[in-house]
Structure 1
Amino acid sequence: MARAIWKGAISFGLVHIPVALVSATASKGVDFDWLDKRSMDPVGYKRINKVTGEEMDKEDIVKGVQYEKGRYVVLSEEEIRSAHPVSTQTIEIFSFVASDQIPLQNIDTPYFLAPDKRGEKVYALLRETLIRSQKVALAQVVLHTRQYLAAVMPLDDALVLVKLRWPAEVRELAVLELGDAVKKAELSKRELDMAQRLVDDMSGDWQPADYVDQFEEKIMALVDKKARDGKIEDVETGDPEDARQTADVIDLTELLKRSLGGKPATKAAKDKAPAKAAAPRKRATKAAPAAKPATRRAKKAS
C-alpha cells in the first residue's frame, strides 16, 4: 500500500474505525526551475519590501490581515496558533446525506481510506451501510492544523474521503448573470435531434490511458532529445547559508572597490598577481555520453 499521510479513525455514534489516509491523486506537470543564464546558477526568491525595494530579514516580517483598504490588523504567531483547531486524529461524522445533494463545485480533493489496526470488519460495515442506504457521510477532519469539511463515500470495495470546499468559498451561479437568451432559449426539435445524434456518434467508454497532458509530453520529449545530444548544463546547488555568505563577500568586495574609487593596483600588488588568469570552468559539455531519459520532476503525491 502507498505510504499513509495521516492516521486516525472514523467516528460516528459509538462506532470507531481505525483508518489510514492515502492520497488518491498525484500532482503532475513540468517543474521549471529558475537559472542564471550567465552562470547556470540556481535563482532563488527574496523577501522584498515593496515600498523601499530593500531585502528584509525574516525576523522583521509580521503577518497582517487587511481589515479595510490600506489598513491591516497584525497578528502574532501565538495568536495564529491559538486559532488553529485541535487535532483529534478523528474523522468526525455528523450527518448522512444523498450524494447528489452535494454540489459539484463544492467537491475538492479525494483521498483513499484504508482500514488500519484490525479495523477491517467495521470498515466493511460502514461501506456496505453507505451502499445500501445510498448515502454519503458528512464529516469534519483536521489535517495539518486546518479543519476541513469532508464526505466519506464508498468506491467499489473501499471507502474514500473527499475534501469539500466550505459553502462560503463557493460562488453562486448568479455571478454569471445568465440572461433569457440562455435561460429561455428557443430550440427546435431538429436542432435537438441533430445535437443528440452528434453526441451518440461521439460516445464511448472512459479510457484513462488515452487522456494525457500533451504539453508535458512534448516538453519531456524535448528534454530527452536535448539530453541525448549532450545539451546539459551543470548546475551547482549548495547550502543556502553558504550561498548567502558568498553573496555577502561579493557585495562587500564591490563596496570596497567603490570606496577606493577605482584606484589602480599598487606595484607590489601587480607583482603578486598571477601571470595568467585561470580559464573559466566550462558549464556545458559539447560531446557528453548519451544521457538516460529525463525523469519527470513531479513525483506522485505521498
Structure 2
Amino acid sequence: MRTLWKGAISFGLVNIPVKMYTATERKDLHFHQLHATCKTPIQYRKFCPTCQVEVNPEELVRGYEYEKGKYVILRDEDFQLLPGENTKTIDILDFVDLAEIDPVYFDRSYYLGPNPGGEKAYALLKQAMAETGKIAIARVMIRTKTVLACIRGWDQLLVMETMFFPDEIRAPELITAEFKEVKLHPNEISMATSLIGNLSAPFDPEKYTNEYRSKLMEMIQAKIAGEEVAVPDAPETGKVVDLMEALRASLQATAGPKEEETTKKRRKKKTG
C-alpha cells in the first residue's frame, strides 16, 4: 500500500515514527464528459477573461478574496512562515473517551503503521489506550492543512480519524428552529421501539452492498454487449400514510422467527 505521509506521533517526551496510509477508497463509477457530436473527451483549460489568454500552471498564484473583486496574494514562501507548515508530527493533545465524541465530527480515516525502530513505542501506545479505554485527540498537518484528529486502536493497527473543528460544524438550531411541535402517543412510542427491536441485529458490514452501483455496472455491460436495457417502473411515493397503521404493518412484516420464538417460550412457561 502506498505511503501518504511519514512522520511521528508526539506522545509526551516520546516520539513514535509512523507511516500514514489511506484506510478507505471510493468505489464510485467515474464518467468522462464527451462531445456528443464526435464522442471525444472534452478538455478543461484555465482561461483569463481579462487578458483573453490561456494561462499556464507556472503563471498561477493563490489569492484570498477579502472584498468583492479584491484579492491579497499569498506565495509559497508566505506559507513557509506559518507555524506547523513544515512539521511532520502528530501532536497528541488529550486523551478522552470515544463515547464523548459525536460522529458528526469525524471526516476521513487513515491507518498509521510503525516506521522501522518505532515498533515497541507504537505497540505501547496502542496497549496503553486499550487498557485505559481512552483515545487520543491530536493535531497534525496534512499537505497544506492543519487538522484535528483522533487516534484509536483497531485490530492490530492504530487508526487516525481526521475531525472537523467545532466552528466547522453547522449549528443544529439552523434546522430545529423550523420544527413544528408534535406530541407523541405512548402507543406510538411503544410500537416504534418494538419495531426497532425486531430489526435489531449484530453489525455485519459484509451484508450491506451498493446495489445502485451493481445495477449501474450491469447496465454498462449490457450496453457494451449491445443489449436492450429494461427500465423498471418507479415505486409510488408521496402518499400520506397513517403513522399507527404503518407501524402495525411494519411490526407484522418484521415479526418473523423472533416473535414466534418468544411465543413458544411463553407457552412452555405456562405448561411447565
The match for 1:122 is 121
Distance (whole Å) between structure 2 residues aligned to residue 53 and residue 29 of structure 1: 38
Identify the residue that residue 29 of structure 1 maps to in structure 2. 28
TM-score normalised by L of structure 1: 0.66
Judge conservation of contact 1:87–1:145 (CA < 8 Å) in 2. no
Verify the 8 A CA contact 2:47 2:55 in the aligned structure 1. Answer: no
Find the counterpart in structure 1 of residue 130 from structure 2. Answer: 131
Instruction: Map 1:1-302 to 2 at 5 A.
Output: 2-49=1-48, 54=52, 56-58=54-56, 61-68=60-67, 70-78=68-76, 80-82=78-80, 85-178=84-177, 181-182=180-181, 185-229=182-226
Report the Cα offset of residue 53 of structure 1.
Answer: 10
Report how far residue 32 of structure 1 moved: 0.8
Deviating runs (4+, > 6 A) in structure 1?
Answer: none
Report the AA paired with residue 217 of structure 1.
S
Give % identity: 32
- Determine if contact 2:66/2:72 at 8 Å carries over to the other structure: no
Structure 2 residue runs without a partner (length 5+): 228-272
- Which shows bigger deviation, 18-27 or 38-47? 38-47
Shift of 1:103: 2.9
Change (3 A) 1:42 1:83: farther
Give the secondary structure class of the aligned counterpart of 2:54: coil
Structure of greater relative contact order (alpha carbons < 8 Å, 6+ residues apart): 1
Number of residue-to-residue matches in the alignment: 226
SS of the equivalent of 1:74 reads: strand
User: Is the 8 Å Cα contact of residues 23 and 111 (structure 1) preserved in structure 2?
Assistant: yes
SS of 2:183 mapped into structure 1: coil
RMSD of aligned residue pairs (Cα, Å): 2.6
- Name the aligned partner's letter for residue 99 of structure 1: L
Contact residue 24 and residue 110 of structure 1 kept, 8 A: yes
Deviation per residue, 1:131-165 (Å, 9 max, x gap)? 22221111111121221111111123321111011
> How far has the Cα of 1:79 moved from its partner?
5.6
Aligned to 2:2, the other structure's residue is in SS state coil
TM-score (norm 2): 0.73
Residues 63 and 14 (structure 1), Cα distance of their counterparts in 2 relative to 1, 3 Å cut: closer
Report the residue type matching 2:129 in the other structure: L
**Secondary structure of the corresponding residue to residue 184 of structure 2:** coil
